[in-house]
Amino acid sequence: MNGAVRVRIDSQRCQGHGRCYDLAPALFGEDADGYSTLTELTAGGGVPAGAEDDARLAAANCPESAISVDEEA
C-alpha cells in the first residue's frame, strides 16, 4: 500500500472502551469523558508514515467499529 492513510473516529459510535488509545497511544487519546480522540499526530486525520499498522490495529479492535481507516491512492 503506497498511498497515504487517513483515520477517522465516529463519535456517535464510540463508547469509550479505550482499546484504540491502549493499542496506539501515539495516534489516539481520550477526552475528559473517556471517549476516543485523535492526538496531535493525527489531528487532521492523516496517519504518520510508519504508524499505518497501528491505525489498522486500533480500528480492527474497536468493538463499536467507530474507527475508519481509509487508504488513499
Instruction: Compute the distance between CA of residue 19 and CA of residue 28 in angstroms, rounded to an integer.
Output: 9
pLDDT tens digit at each of 73 positions of the chain: 457 999 999 999 999 999 999 999 999 999 999 999 999 999 899 999 999 999 999 999 999 999 999 998 7
Q: pTM for this one?
A: 0.90
Contacts with 61 (C-beta within 8 Å, 6 or more apart), sequence order: 19, 20, 23
- Provide the residue range defining the domain that includes 30: 5-71
CA–CA separation, 46 and 64 (whole Å): 21
Rounded Cα distance, 49 and 65, in Å: 23
Q: How many domains does the chain have?
A: 1
CATH number for 30: 3.30.70.20
Name the amino acid, one letter, at 24: A
